[in-house]
Structures are given as structure tokens and as C-alpha cells.
Structure 1
Amino acid sequence: MGRSVALAYVLWFFLGYLGIHRMYCGRVGSGVVMLALTVIGGLTFPIVVGHLLLFIVGVWWLVDLFLTAGMAER
């Protein structure tokens, strides 16, 4: 049985940068990577490396707009 697509998108919208929507959809590994990139990016933001990490997470978050429905239905 699949998970709720609506809930997956709510999690994506509000907690997407933390990878919570991926964890909800059963993609725990990539969700933890997303969470780690966000935390490390936030901590290293003043030394420019954080900008790159947060940019990567932002692009990943936007790509997940199109992938979340498929992940939730599996």
C-alpha cells in the first residue's frame, strides 16, 4: 500500500530542505543525506562552502517536486 501523496507534498513543501518527505516515502538514506547537507550548509554558510551545499539542496528540493508523487505511490 502506498503512502499519502497529499501528505508527502505537504512534507515536501514545509520540511523539504530537511529531507523529511523522502524519509516518509521510504527513501531514508537520501533523506538523511539531504538533512546532513542542509545542516552542514547552514553551519558553513559564512565560509562560502555552505552556499554551494544549500544551492544543491535547493535544486534537489525543486526536482523532488516532480518525483514525490512517484515515491509516495510505491
Structure 2
Amino acid sequence: MQKSVALAYVLWFFLGYLGIHRMYCGRVGSGVAMLALTVFGMLTMSIVVGHLLMMIVGIWWLIDLFLTAGMAGSTWRR
């Protein structure tokens, strides 16, 4: 079933760092991984590890700007 690309981008923009847009598009595993990195990064923000994890999530979020349309538009699921 095809998902709404517009809704996927709204979720990406507002909740992308939590991986919600990936879960909506059917990529539950990577969405949960993104959520876990964000939560663990926030909890360890007082040490260097948290900043590194949040940087990784931020880069992943930006890369998803280009991948979200394909994830939402495809009928094939991984």
C-alpha cells in the first residue's frame, strides 16, 4: 500500500529525529534504531557520546530528506 509522500515529509520535518517518518513508511527497524539513538543521545548529552550520537542522527535526518519520497512512494518493503 502506497503511503502519502506529503504526510511522510511532514513527519520527517517535525518528528524526523525520532524516526517516525521511517516507521510510517514501513521501515520500522531503522525507525526504532533512529529513535533509540536519539533517546540515548539525549540521555548522554552531558558527555561527548551524546553529542556524537545526536550528530549522527542529524546527518541521518538530512539524508532522509532525499530518501523519504522513495520510501513513501514504493510498494516494496524491506
Question: The TM-score by the shorter chain falls in which range?
Answer: over 0.9
Q: What amino acid does structure 1 have at the position aligned with 2:55?
A: F
User: 1:48 deviation in Å?
Assistant: 1.1
TM-score, length-scaled by structure 1: 0.99
- Structure 2 residue runs of 5 or longer lacking an equivalent are none
Q: Which TM-score applies when normalising by structure 2? A: 0.94
- What percentage of residue pairs aligned between the two structures are identical? 82
Task: Output one character per residue of 1:10-51: Cα deviation in whole Å (capped at 9) or x when no partner.
Answer: 000000000000000000000000000000000000011000
Which residue number corresponds to residue 51 of structure 2? 51
Q: Compare the two structures and name the one with the higher helix fraction.
A: 1
Separation in 2, partners of 1:39, 1:3: 26
Which structure 1 residue ranges, 4+ long, deviate > 3 Å from structure 2? none
For residues 1-74 of structure 1, the aligned pairs below 5 Å read 1-74=1-74
What is the root-mean-square deviation of aligned Cα atoms in Å?
0.4
How many residues are treated as equivalent by the alignment?
A: 74
CA distance in 2, matches of 1:47, 1:56: 15
